[in-house]
């Protein structure tokens, strides 16, 4: 299931990110360096080098923002997250249909299983033409173009693409997550239960007996499905 997360970054944070990424010495390179053998054929964009000081500094700020964003944790149940990276599309650049690699290398030389892919938008929708993220699943295609500071999460097994950016610049951040709960259906079930508990807590108060029972059920289900 695709999920939209709002206000991961504040407006001042977005402005600071955009200013840093627009600097003449930002050091953009061809985006094919992080694509798999097949995806490299259809990937036409630019990104920051993974080891550049700017990429690492901004990436750390993204991880801090995600750590304080409760809806992200509830939706992803993250175990590990790849270092965030940054890309830009303009002048007709695009990323054709592809499925993300199942395994991603981590800075310590290990591997992370990519359960979820994430795009954090850093450009406002009105700043560029085209550039929609198209995600396909068993129910059809979804087109996503969110305000700057918002994020979309979707299963890494989904086929997806970015349509050509025919005007302006589409700047964003992308990363992958290994969830504590491997299965998409199990993770969606837990997320739905969590949202229901939150709504009932507002309606009936945290001391309500039935809310307490549902909360215990949620944690016992997480205990059953989680891998750590």
Mean pLDDT of the chain: 94
Task: Please state the rounded mean pLDDT for residues 197-211.
Answer: 94
Do 72 and 166 sit in the same domain of this protein?
A: yes
170 is in an annotated binding site: yes
150 is in an annotated binding site: no
Q: What is the pLDDT of residue 45?
A: 95
Do 119 and 218 sit in the same domain of this protein?
A: no
Does the pTM surpass 0.75? The reply is yes
Is pLDDT above 80 for 183? Answer: yes
Is pLDDT above 70 for 220? Answer: yes
Do 71 and 125 sit in the same domain of this protein?
A: yes
Do 126 and 219 sit in the same domain of this protein?
A: no
Q: What is the pLDDT of residue 200?
A: 96
Do 205 and 189 sit in the same domain of this protein?
A: yes
Do 145 and 104 sit in the same domain of this protein?
A: yes
Do 54 and 137 sit in the same domain of this protein?
A: yes
Q: What is the pLDDT of residue 118?
A: 98
Determine what percent of the chain is predicted with pLDDT higher than 70: 96
Among 162, 179, 196, which residue terminates a domain? 179
User: Beta strands of the chain (E only): which ranges?
Assistant: 3-5, 29-30, 43-44, 46-47, 78-81, 85-90, 94-98, 103-105, 111-113, 116-121, 128-130, 133-137, 140-144, 151-155, 159-162, 165-179
Do 165 and 195 sit in the same domain of this protein?
A: no
Do 49 and 155 sit in the same domain of this protein?
A: yes
Task: Please state the rounded mean pLDDT for residues 139-151.
Answer: 94
Tens-digit pLDDT profile for residues 62-72:
999 999 999 99
Q: What is the pLDDT of residue 108?
A: 87
Determine what percent of the chain is predicted with pLDDT higher than 90: 89
Q: What is the pLDDT of residue 39?
A: 60
Tens-digit pLDDT profile for residues 26-58:
999 997 766 556 666 898 999 999 999 999 999
Q: What is the pLDDT of residue 38?
A: 62
Could you tell me the CATH number of the domain that includes residue 73? Answer: 2.60.120.620
Domain residue limits at 195: 184-225
115 is in an annotated binding site: no
Name residues whose C-beta falls within 8 Å of residue 193's C-beta, 6 or more positions apart in sequence.
Answer: 214, 217, 218, 221
Is pLDDT above 90 for 96? Answer: yes
How many domains are contained in the chain?
A: 2
Gap between the Cα atoms of 156 and 2, Å rounded: 10
Tens-digit pLDDT profile for residues 151-173:
999 999 999 999 999 999 999 99
108 is in an annotated binding site: no
Do 145 and 193 sit in the same domain of this protein?
A: no
Gap between the Cα atoms of 31 and 210, Å rounded: 51
- Exposure string (b/e) for 187-215, b if CB count within 10 Å is 16 or more? beebbebbeebeebbeeeeeeeeebeebb
pLDDT bracket for residue 138 (50, 70, 90): confident
């Amino acid at each position: 299931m695709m999920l939209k997360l709002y206000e991961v970054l504040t407006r001042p944070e977005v402005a600071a990110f955009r200013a840093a990424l627009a600097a003449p010495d930002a050091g953009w390179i061809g985006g094919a360096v992080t694509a798999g053998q097949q995806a490299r054929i259809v990937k036409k964009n630019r990104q920051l080098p993974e080891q550049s000081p700017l990429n690492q500094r901004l990436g750390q700020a993204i991880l801090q923002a995600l750590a304080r964003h409760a809806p992200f944790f509830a939706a992803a149940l993250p175990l590990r997250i790849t270092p965030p990276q940054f890309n830009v599309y303009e002048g007709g650049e695009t990323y054709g249909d592809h499925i993300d690699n199942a395994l991603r290398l981590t800075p310590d030389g290990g591997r992370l299983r990519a359960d979820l892919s994430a795009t954090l938008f850093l450009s406002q929708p009105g700043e560029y033409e085209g550039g929609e993220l198209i995600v396909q699943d068993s129910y059809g295609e979804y087109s996503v173009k969110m305000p700057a500071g918002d994020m979309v999460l979707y299963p890494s097994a989904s086929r997806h693409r970015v349509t050509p950016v025919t005007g302006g610049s589409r700047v964003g951040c992308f990363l992958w997550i290994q969830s504590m709960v491997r299965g998409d259906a199990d993770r969606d079930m837990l997320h739905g239960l969590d949202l229901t508990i939150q709504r009932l807590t507002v309606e009936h108060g945290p001391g309500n007996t039935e809310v307490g029972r549902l909360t215990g059920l949620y944690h016992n289900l997480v205990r059953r499905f989680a891998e750590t």
